[in-house]
């Protein structure tokens, strides 16, 4: 049995198929963990969702910002962006089945010694806090009035977590941490304007995983979302968004028996880039 974590697919189904072939992936034997942004910007979001849904229990996916954007666009909460490539899903006869499957996905996973999220973890949260905050957000998405959450989801404030936060403000901080976080201050104030490499962080900000005293330090964390980050491999940090949709690679990491150790496997994505800024 092999266990793999895979970075942002973003609608790139053909490279995903080639990667699975290179892994000799068998759904009866192996397990995939996908780190969010399954859809959008790439040419085949519909095929990606159908492929992953067909794998059933052998593919586990956390939600990213593009996945939540699809849910919001499908329910009229957010207008599609110019660079979106979601129409094939939105006009599919089985769209409701796919959207319902998507909103049932978790926000974070802790499996085989790895904490898996799309973007990041706030430095104030330990592992138990992280999983509890993920459960809060998952409950909102799975509730009968879940579209009300989507209407309150967007915005950059509050930018700092507090245990005293309630309602929409609390969930907005959580969703931003899990799906948008790259940089924050030593106190955990999040910054959302920068999407370049860590060496171009604004003054006073740093990658969330470099914050001194981060409470998940020592817990191996795998994440995507930051295609311009570059190689950030160390025992407790694994960045797996290698820019497939931007002409880079789609990367998988095979989880090895030693804690925090992986073997990386990648395939080149040769399709044309889709216009629009990275996000």
Q: What is the pLDDT of residues 203-252, one digit of tens each?
A: 999 999 999 999 999 999 999 999 999 766 677 899 999 999 999 999 99
Residue 90's H or E segment, with its range, is helix 87-90
Contact 33, 109 (CB under 8 A): yes
Task: Compute the average pLDDT of residues 34-49.
Answer: 97
Cα–Cα distance between 150 and 35 in angstroms, integer?
Answer: 21
Using only the alpha carbons of the chain, give its radius of gyration. Answer: 17
**For position 233, what pLDDT does the model report?**
67
What is the DSSP code (8-state) at residue 41?
Answer: S
What the chain holds in terms of domains, given with CATH numbers, is 3-268 (3.60.21.10)
Q: What is the pLDDT of residues 153-192, one digit of tens each?
A: 999 999 999 999 999 999 999 999 999 999 999 999 999 9
Contact 154, 214 (CB under 8 A): no
* Cβ-proximal residues to 167 (8 Å cutoff; 6+ apart), any chain: none
Of residues 236 and 95, more confidently modeled: 95
Contact 278, 29 (CB under 8 A): no
What is the DSSP code (8-state) at residue 196?
Answer: S
Q: How crowded is residue 205: how many other Cβ atoms within 10 Å of its Cβ? A: 19
Cα–Cα distance between 260 and 213 in angstroms, integer?
Answer: 19
Contact 38, 67 (CB under 8 A): yes
Cα–Cα distance between 153 and 83 in angstroms, integer?
Answer: 21
Contact 240, 224 (CB under 8 A): yes
**For position 80, what pLDDT does the model report?**
84
Residue 265: strand pairing partners? 252
Cα–Cα distance between 40 and 54 in angstroms, integer?
Answer: 19
**For position 278, what pLDDT does the model report?**
52
Give me the chain's average pLDDT, please.
94
Nearest one of 159, 224, 166 to 185, comparing CA atoms: 159
Contact 95, 89 (CB under 8 A): yes
Residue 275, pLDDT above cutoff 50: no
Residue 272, pLDDT above cutoff 90: no
Cα–Cα distance between 46 and 74 in angstroms, integer?
Answer: 14
């Amino acid at each position: 049995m092999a266990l793999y974590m895979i970075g942002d697919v973003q609608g790139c189904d053909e490279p995903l198929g080639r990667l699975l072939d290179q892994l000799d992936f068998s759904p009866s034997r192996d397990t995939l963990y996908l780190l969010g942004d399954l859809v959008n910007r790439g040419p085949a979001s519909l095929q990606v969702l159908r492929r992953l849904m067909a794998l059933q229990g052998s593919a586990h996916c956390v939600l990213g910002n593009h996945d939540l954007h699809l849910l919001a666009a499908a329910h009229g909460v957010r207008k599609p962006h110019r660079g979106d490539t979601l129409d094939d899903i939105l006009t599919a006869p089985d769209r409701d089945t796919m959207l319902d499957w998507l909103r049932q996905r978790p926000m974070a996973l802790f499996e085989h010694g790895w904490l898996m999220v799309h973007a990041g973890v706030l430095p104030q949260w330990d592992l138990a806090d992280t999983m509890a905050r993920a459960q809060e957000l998952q409950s909102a998405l799975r509730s009968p009035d879940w579209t009300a959450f989507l209407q309150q989801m967007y915005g950059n404030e509050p930018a700092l977590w507090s245990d005293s936060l309630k309602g929409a403000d609390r969930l907005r901080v959580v969703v931003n941490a899990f799906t948008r976080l790259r940089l924050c201050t030593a106190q955990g104030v999040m910054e959302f304007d920068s999407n370049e490499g860590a060496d171009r962080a604004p003054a006073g900000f740093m990658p969330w995983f470099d914050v001194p005293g981060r409470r998940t330090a020592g817990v191996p964390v795998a994440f995507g979302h930051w295609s311009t980050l570059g190689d950030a491999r160390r025992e407790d940090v694994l960045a797996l968004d290698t820019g497939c949709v931007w002409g880079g690679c789609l990367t998988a990491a095979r989880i090895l028996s030693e804690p925090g150790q992986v073997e990386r496997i990648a395939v080149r994505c040769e399709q044309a880039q889709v216009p629009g800024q990275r996000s």
